[in-house]
Amino acid sequence: TLRLSEALDRVKPSATIAVTTKANELKRAGHDVIGLGAGEPDFDTPDNIKEAAMQAIRDGKTKYTPADGIPELKEAICAKFQRENGLTYTPSQIHIAPGGKPVIYNAFVATLNPGDEVIIPAPYWVSYPDMALMAGGTPVPVACGPNANYKLTPEALEAAITPNTKWLLLNSPSNPTGAAYTKEELRGLADVLLRHPHVWTLTDDMYEHLVYDDFEYFTIAQVEPKLFERTLTVNGVSKAYAMTGWRIGYAGGPEKLITAMRKVISQTTSNPCSISQWAAVEALNGPQDFLPERRAVYQQRRDMVVAGLNAAEGITCATPEGAFYVYPSCAGVIGKTGPSGKVIESDKDFASELLEQEKVAIVFGEAFGLSPAFRVSYATSTEALQEALTRIQRFCANLS
Ligand code: PLP
| Model confidence pLDDT, tens digit, residues 290-310 | 999 999 999 999 999 999 999
On whether both 299 and 260 belong to a single domain, the answer is no
d(CA 288, CA 149): 31
CATH number at residue 356: 3.90.1150.10
Q: What is the arithmetic mean of pLDDT over 40-57?
A: 97
Q: Are residues 97 and 38 in the same domain?
A: no
Shared domain check, 252 and 312:
no
Query: Which of 242, 257, 285 represents a domain boundary (last residue)?
Result: 285
- Burial (CB count <10 Å: 0-12, 13-18, 19+), residue 59: exposed
Q: Does 41 sit behind a cis peptide bond, omega within 30 degrees of 0 on the bond before it?
A: no
251 and 109: one domain? yes
Domain count, the chain: 2
Say yes or no: 40 and 80 in one domain: no
Does 13 score more than 80 pLDDT? Answer: no
CA of 160 to the centre of ligand 1 (A): 25
The pLDDT value recorded for residue 17 is: 77
**With pLDDT > 90 as the criterion, what percentage of the chain qualifies?**
91
Rounded CA-CA distance 42/32 in Å is: 18
Q: Which domain holds residue 67?
A: 63-285
Cα angle: 215, vertex 289, 292; to 5 degrees: 30
The mean per-residue pLDDT over the stretch 329-333 comes to 97
Could you write out the DSSP letters of every residue in 35-99?
E----S-SSPPPHHHHHHHHHHHHTT--S---TT--HHHHHHHHHHHHHHH-----GGGEEEESS
Maximum Cα–Cα distance for the chain, whole Å? 64
DSSP bridge pairs for 119: 140, 168
Mean pLDDT along residues 348-360: 93
Question: In this predicted structure, what is the pLDDT of residue 172?
Answer: 98
CATH number of the domain residue 222 falls in: 3.40.640.10
CB of 249 closer than 6 angstroms to any ligand 1 atom: yes
What pLDDT does residue 48 have? 98
Domain boundary among 237, 256, 285: 285
Domain boundary among 216, 251, 285: 285
Distance CA 319, CA 179 (A): 9
Q: 327 and 252, same structural domain?
A: no
pLDDT digits (tens, 9 = 90+) for 114-131: 999 999 999 999 999 999
Residues 76 and 150 in one domain: yes
- At 260 the pLDDT is 98
The answer on 141 and 119 residing in a single domain is: yes
Q: Do 258 and 294 belong together in one domain?
A: no
Task: Please tell me whether residues 115 and 177 are part of one structural domain.
Answer: yes
**Is the C-beta atom of 99 inside 6 A of ligand 1?**
yes
Closest atom of ligand 1 relative to the 249 alpha carbon: 15
| Predicted TM-score of the model (pTM) | 0.96
Answer whether residue 109 is part of any domain. Answer: yes
- Is residue 80 assigned to a domain? yes
Residue nearest to atom 12 of ligand 1 (CA): 100
pLDDT: which is higher, 244 or 10: 244
In a domain, 58, yes or no: no
